[in-house]
A and B are shown apart, each in its own frame.
Chain A
Amino acid sequence: MPDRYKERKSKYTLDRGMPGAFEGETVTRRRLMNLAANGAGAVAVAAFALPALGFAIAPIFKRQQWTWQPVGPPSDFTDSDYVTKIVNLVPGIGEAGNSVAYIRKRNPAIDKEPEDQYNHFVALSDKCMHLGCPVRYVLAAQRFICPCHGGVYDFRGMVAGGPPVRPLDRFYTRVNEQTGLLEIGPRYSVNNELQRFSPRFPGEPIDGIGQYLYPAQFDTSSPPPH
């Protein structure tokens, strides 16, 4: 340690030989003024920067509403073929907010995931789980095929080939007792055992370590009421 640091032991500015020092003070007026002016500047910057930053990142934390949209009477849907329905994911922006749901009746012979009130009908999202392109159901092959990079899914939406990292996302479904119509709820993601997860971006595997690498987002809708 150099000597010049050792010499500055006294807490009094006068003893430390600082210019403009007064008897008995521990902080010079110059230093106090410096701190006050810089502190005031920092407060002024924070006063506009922090609200602006919060304004910009607020959508990350906004929870989605649970909405149900009718897609037709339950008798329209069979358990052997998909019916294509346009669903609106984001209202108010025209076609850019629309997506496609492939809907069929649950078939206990092939659908082995546990049944509950939200999957009497299976509704698959058309969003490819590689990078989000729209998949197309090919009846002859009974496969979902993605035009972008060749992702293929089988009849249940499980990955049959290509780059997708998990099965096709699904929508909650229910039959409305009042109207008698089948309704489509929010989207959710599934892992390879078809366990439900809150919606994730495509390209995020949620099996094993994936569910920790890609945690649930703040803006996802709350879990369904039981």
Chain B
Amino acid sequence: MPKIPAPPLPKALQPKPKKPSESNGQVPTHSAPLEAGISTVDWLDERTALSPGLRWLMWRKVPRGVNWAYTLGSATLFAFLNQAVTGVFLAMYYRPDVSGGAYESVRNINDNVFLGQFVRGMHKWGASVMIILIFLHMGRVFFYGAYKYPRELTWVIGVVLLILTLAMGFTGYLLPFDQRSYWATVVGVNINAGGPFIGPFLSNFLLGGADFNATTLSRFYSIHMLLIPGLMAALIGAHLYLVTKLGISAPPWLKPQPEHDGDHEIDQAEV
């Protein structure tokens, strides 16, 4: 069909031709800020070659039938990140001083510091949320049979992460240093000492001596904010690598389907 010619525009409305100084008169395909962003990303990617890895990490095939229960792992991860971020900032105000300074510094965070009660609340309640989520995540993996071959190692690392999370709860409980945290720690350390042979030595290590003493609180603080979080971050990295590498398992009720095109081979491979 022949195109009807456009009516001639008045002179004032016609687009002005580019001046010779303006990029050879060519109209740029992107706006200047976008162009700057693209060139920055290109600069980085040329030197790090990160984009294939990111694509591998983020654009993955996901089996049919996934549901909200599959988000529990990410939810636990976000709870961990919440604990990490709020914990780092709480450490700016906290003082692991066993002769009253610790309790006083927590009281100061609660009563005086701007948003202190909120950030400490995020950390305190986030701890419980994380433990609830990690158990729900574990239940999802167990009842969906997602721990089976080839994902056994992911499960094992997950169990270690669960134990470390509980250890975080135990060490963090002492830090407010009120009556409740002191006696809970005494009882917890004594339960630990009930393990034959190594139990007493482990409790001595935790306390930093025979009895609760001047270094016990700073020991718990160091374990709580440096030792275990470092281990957990490394293990979470390994956990996520394995999840990405092995793919997500399909729900157990999904029947294997004949491969009909390339887009759905994952269904068959994973069931």
A residues with a Cβ closer than 8 A to B are 56-57, 59-60, 62, 64, 89-90, 92-94, 96-97, 131-133, 148, 199-204, 213-215, 217-220
Contacts and interface: CB of A to CB of B under 8 A. Distances in A.
Contacts, number: 86
Nearest to B196: A213
A195 to B, nearest CB: 19
A93 B190 contact: no
Nearest to A134: B183
A132 B98 contact: no
A92 B97 CA distance: 11
B44 interface: no
Given A202-B190, A203-B190, A94 B204 contact: no
Contacts of A90: 209, 211-214
Interface of B: 98-100, 182-183, 186-187, 189-191, 193-194, 196-197, 199-201, 203-205, 207-215
B132 to A, nearest CB: 26
A202 B207 CA distance: 14
B200 A97 contact: no
Nearest to A201: B193
Given A96-B98, A213-B196, A201 B203 contact: yes
A202 B183 CA distance: 13
Given A57-B205, A96-B212, A133-B187, 17 more contacts: A56-B205, A59-B204, A90-B213, A93-B98, A93-B99, A93-B213, A96-B182, A131-B190, A132-B190, A133-B183, A133-B186, A202-B190, A213-B196, A214-B193, A214-B197, A217-B200, A219-B210
A89 B84 CA distance: 36
Contacts of B200: 200-201, 204, 214-215, 217
Contact of B197 (A60, A92, A132, A213): A213
Given A57-B205, A60-B205, A90-B213, A201 B99 contact: no
A97 B210 contact: no
Given A213-B196, A217-B204, A97 B213 contact: yes
B201 A59 contact: no
Contacts of A56: 205
A199 B199 contact: no
5 contacts: A59-B215, A62-B209, A90-B209, A92-B99, A201-B189
A64 B207 CA distance: 14
Contacts of B213: 90, 93, 97
A106 B262 CA distance: 89
Contacts of A89: 211
Contact of B98 (A60, A94, A202, A203): A94
Contacts of B215: 59
B38 to A, nearest CB: 42
A132 B187 contact: yes
A138 to B, nearest CB: 20
